[in-house]
Structure 1
Amino acid sequence: MMSSVFMKSLWDQRKSLIWWGLGCAVLIIVTILFYPSVSDTPELNELLGDETSIARVFVGDISDMTSPEGYLNSQLYYLMIPLLFLVFAISRGSGAIAGEEESGTLDLLLSNPQPRSKIVLHKFAALAVALTMFGIVLWLSAVVGSVFVDMDISFVKLGEVTLSAAFLGATFGALALMLSCATGKRNLSIGVASAMGVATYFLNALLPLVDALEPLTRLSPFYYYIDADPLTNGLSILHALVLACLSGSMLIVALITFDRRDLAV
């Protein structure tokens, strides 16, 4: 039965995963197809080179937007890709337990003699696999787009920055799962996790504008996703471990709260 919880969770996501993959693939490829026109517009560097420009909040600290790394970071990997991962992960993490509870199907899972913790673990495993599959689609889309425009970019580095974004997504997916296990309310889990995502994004984007506050950016998961510039320098193992530890900590809390909570079944 427990193996079917994992497989059924993946099976239930198959259609949405396909549509998510197709839609995001088109979005990424189309975005990259605009690169040749941007690479011939050096004036953009003057705009983004202004430290007071509000645009830096949404495209990051880009020294050369006309370079492949600068363009991809500003248009995809600073905001769009992590946003896609967060929406994808939060929607699934929040529904993993609370969705089953609100729809009345959780009692079917609990009717078998197994610990509640195993259900949570299998739900999180399904989330992790779905994130991996989603990440592979996004990586392949970026590779295809870069080939179309003959972009001088490392396919390995594209994979590493996508992996870093997947770790970020897993962190917020684990947060949504934790809230789902603690409250049994899907909409509340989505709302709180989404609010935390927005708040920590702006924490990482705005605080560097004030030198005295810059160290506080380390409180944001987004710092550990993008600060090491994985598209240029490769994946930071230390930063990935921080995100993994955050996910693991919230998973532990999810296991404890779900095991102790009175369920609405």
Structure 2
Amino acid sequence: MSWPLYLSMMKSHAKMLGGFIYGAVAYIVLIIWIYPSIADMKGFNEMIAALPEGMRKLIGMENGINSLSDYIAGEFYGMLFLIILMVYVILTSTRLMARLVDQGSMAYLLATPNSRVKIASTQAAVLITGLACIVVFTTLSGIAASEWLISGYELDVRSFVKLNVLTFLIFSCVAAYCFLISSICNDEKKALGVSAGITLVFYMFNMAGKLSEKTEWLLNLSIFKLYDPIKMINNETDALLTGSILAVTTILLLAISIIVFKRRNLPL
């Protein structure tokens, strides 16, 4: 890895990364801040229970809201945070590789003493670092908001941290296949379209699979089957097994990306 290139890329992506961090932090703080009014609302869980089972699964409130942890997992991690992270990894992976090739900037990087392997490894590190920053700031903000903004409602910090670790790992995997696509494509728009298209299909399969038993088989076609915030925060998933599978998959995909970029012909 090239540290000068790493620092330069982190600096050039800092503004965009800061925007994603701000958005994630603002959303989770707001959601925690309004939780007491939701928790004190009479008949809220009865209203949720009246919804079809598929709809409850879809919005992440299959069993209603029984704690602050359930509320955060369903309301924030079930949709908002998922979308924020999807957009970040798709945009950033494309900008780090395909855009540089498309605009001819990659030629300048390859003209330096750095090898293709070192350049690709550095760009991958920038992508994963940015993702980690978003998750870490969100985690710390969630813990701080639950301690300082509301009283009488306790957040299970240990389970909350575990949820964020698993969230980071699953989106590292998403980032890795987007990075592979970006490493293959010469055209920025094509890389962006393919990455967004595949991720959107996974997301739609995940949503459709939750609607009914007839469509449940679609979950097996989506990487987001492994992403169930409610089960994660309630310790109903095998965190070690799931995390290990995601970590190994991410490493393999990034390694393949680097090898592909090393061996391919570039239109420079």
Q: Which of 165, 168, 171 lines up with 2:167 in the alignment?
A: 165
Name the residue aligned to 1:250. Answer: 253
Structure 1 residues 86 and 142: CA distance shift in structure 2, 3 A = same
Moved segments of 4+, more than 6 Å: none
Name the residue aligned to 2:186. Answer: 184
Name the residue aligned to 1:142. Answer: 142
Maintained 8 Å contact 2:173/2:247: yes
Equivalent-residue separation in structure 2 for 1:84 and 1:204 (angstroms):
17
Maintained 8 Å contact 2:57/2:211: no
Maintained 8 Å contact 1:40/1:66: no
Matched letter for residue 116 of structure 1: R
Q: Which of 228, 232, 235 lines up with 2:234 in the alignment?
A: 232
Alpha-carbon RMSD: 2.4
Structure 1 residues 61 and 75: CA distance shift in structure 2, 3 A = closer
Q: CA deviation at 1:116?
A: 1.3
Structure 1 residues 26 and 195: CA distance shift in structure 2, 3 A = same
Q: CA deviation at 1:213?
A: 4.9
Deviates more, 1:172-181 or 1:201-210: 201-210
Per-residue displacement from partner, 1:112-156 (whole Å, max 9, x unpaired)?
344312211111111111111111111112112212112311222
Q: CA deviation at 1:30?
A: 0.9
Equivalent-residue separation in structure 1 for 2:64 and 2:74 (angstroms):
10
Deviates more, 1:42-51 or 1:125-134: 42-51
Q: CA deviation at 1:212?
A: 5.5
Stretches of structure 1 that go unaligned for 5 or more consecutive residues are none
Identity between Structure 1 and Structure 2 (%)? 21
Maintained 8 Å contact 2:96/2:123: yes
Task: Specify the SS of the correspondent of 2:234.
Answer: helix
Deviates more, 1:82-91 or 1:235-244: 235-244
Equivalent-residue separation in structure 1 for 2:99 and 2:141 (angstroms):
31
Equivalent-residue separation in structure 2 for 1:90 and 1:235 (angstroms):
28
Structure 1 residues 11 and 31: CA distance shift in structure 2, 3 A = same
Maintained 8 Å contact 1:94/1:173: no
Matched letter for residue 256 of structure 1: I
Deviates more, 1:193-202 or 1:137-146: 193-202
Name the residue aligned to 2:264. Answer: 261
Q: CA deviation at 1:8?
A: 1.6
Per-residue displacement from partner, 1:204-231 (whole Å, max 9, x unpaired)?
2332444365355243221222277222
Q: Which of 178, 192, 195 lines up with 1:193 in the alignment?
A: 195
Name the residue aligned to 2:76. Answer: 76
Maintained 8 Å contact 1:161/1:235: no
Stretches of structure 2 that go unaligned for 5 or more consecutive residues are none
Deviates more, 1:148-157 or 1:128-137: 148-157
Maintained 8 Å contact 1:218/1:224: no
Per-residue displacement from partner, 1:178-219 (whole Å, max 9, x unpaired)?
111101222222222222222222322332444365355243
User: How does the TM-score come out when normalised to structure 2?
Assistant: 0.88
Task: Specify the SS of the correspondent of 2:97.
Answer: helix
Name the residue aligned to 1:116. Answer: 116
Task: Specify the SS of the correspondent of 1:264.
Answer: coil
